[in-house]
């Protein structure tokens, strides 16, 4: 077993025991919100770790976490120096770590969307406006993704409140949180929940891969676009890894062009991002009471 592979295996084993190992000074550590199946995330981000290690000429380690909150906490405690966050988790992390920066986002993240999906047994027909679905959605069961998800919770809740002038648990007969987008899809497909909200990229990827029973579940509404996922880097990386290191990480991410690796996100590439890009997310989160 290669030394780097062994290190990563040991790090993952420690995390499974609810312990995030402290990084050595020469090791650049990153994490990502667990928005999909863990196996898919391990494959994707181990590829990113190998790529960054080659580009930066330092040891780079990916550490998986069990929840969105755990990703934010690891960043806050400087146990990781870089994170692939959603819009909301990125806002939360940067509020906790002054000087941290959003440095890159996917091309598709400038104009991200949430898809509302429904089990076809409900008889709900797709509509261009959420308000057109009021009578069909009222008193149905509904699942979000993770409580900390931008596309799986924040934005769909915002539009539910705005459109129906009610909190989700007042409008729907039962509301749940699946934990991630893939699970939301499977729960609605199986009829465990009648309606759900998920990341449009997960839907499109699963559809392209033939992993959706379109006789059982369909998209019924698409939100307007909003900014979402981004890479956020810790404030002190230049102090730890040398002058200009932050810029080198940014350039490495912007230059990532491996088609297979990009497809695993899935993204067509990465483009520059800044903290200001996510002001609409911060304002929305404060508006519905998710941020203090």
Is the pTM higher than 0.75?
yes
- 3-109+227-287 under CATH 3.90.1150.10, yes or no: no
Same CATH topology for 3-109+227-287 and 113-222? yes
CA distance 2 to 4: 6
Domain regions of the chain by residue span: 3-109+227-287, 113-222
pLDDT of residue 37: 81
> Among the CATH numbers 2.30.110.10, 3.30.1180.20, 3.50.50.60, 3.40.190.10, which is that of 113-222?
3.40.190.10
Q: Quick check: bond before 266 cis, omega within 30? A: yes
CA distance 255 to 270: 8
Residue pLDDT, tens place only, 143-154: 999 998 999 999
Phi and psi at residue 221, to the nearest 5°: -160, 145
Residue segments in the chain with a per-residue pLDDT below the cut of 50: 1-3, 5-6, 9-10, 12-24
pLDDT of residue 7: 52
Two tokens at 136?
Answer: 């069909």
> What is the side-by-side order of every strand in the sheet holding 230-233?
59-62, 27-32, 82-85, 230-233, 101-106, 270-272
Which H/E stretch holds residue 28?
strand 27-32
Return the sign of the alpha-carbon dihedral for residues 72, 195, 219, 40: positive
Q: Please give the sequence-ordered ranges of beta strands (E in DSSP) within 120-193, or none if there are none.
A: 141-144, 174-177
């Amino acid at each position: 077993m290669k030394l780097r592979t062994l290190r990563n295996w040991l790090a993952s084993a420690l995390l499974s025991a609810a312990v995030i190992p402290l990084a050595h000074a020469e090791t650049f550590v990153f994490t990502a919100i667990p928005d999909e199946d863990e196996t898919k995330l391990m494959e994707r981000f181990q590829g990113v770790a190998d790529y960054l290690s080659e580009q930066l000429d330092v040891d780079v380690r990916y550490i998986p976490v069990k929840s969105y909150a755990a990703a934010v906490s690891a960043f806050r405690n400087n146990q990781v120096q870089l994170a692939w966050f959603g819009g909301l988790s990125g806002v939360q992390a940067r509020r906790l770590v002054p000087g941290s920066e959003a440095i890159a986002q996917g091309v598709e993240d400038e104009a991200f969307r949430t898809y509302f999906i429904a089990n076809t047994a409900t008889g709900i027909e797709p509509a261009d406006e959420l308000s057109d679905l009021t009578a069909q959605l009222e008193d149905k069961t509904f699942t979000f993704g993770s409580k900390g998800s931008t596309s799986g919770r924040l934005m769909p809740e915002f539009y539910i409140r705005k459109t129906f002038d009610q909190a989700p648990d007042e409008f729907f007969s039962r509301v749940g949180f699946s934990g991630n987008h893939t699970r939301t899809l499977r729960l609605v497909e199986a009829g465990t929940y009648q309606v759900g909200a998920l990341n449009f990229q997960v839907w499109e990827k699963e559809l392209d891969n033939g992993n959706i029973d379109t006789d059982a579940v369909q998209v019924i509404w698409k939100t307007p676009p909003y900014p979402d996922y981004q890479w956020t880097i810790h404030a002190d990386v230049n102090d730890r890894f040398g002058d200009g290191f932050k810029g080198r990480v940014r350039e490495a991410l912007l230059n990532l062009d491996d088609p297979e690796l990009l497809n695993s996100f899935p993204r067509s590439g990465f483009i520059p991002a800044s903290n200001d890009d996510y002001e609409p997310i911060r304002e929305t989160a404060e508006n519905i009471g998710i941020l203090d």
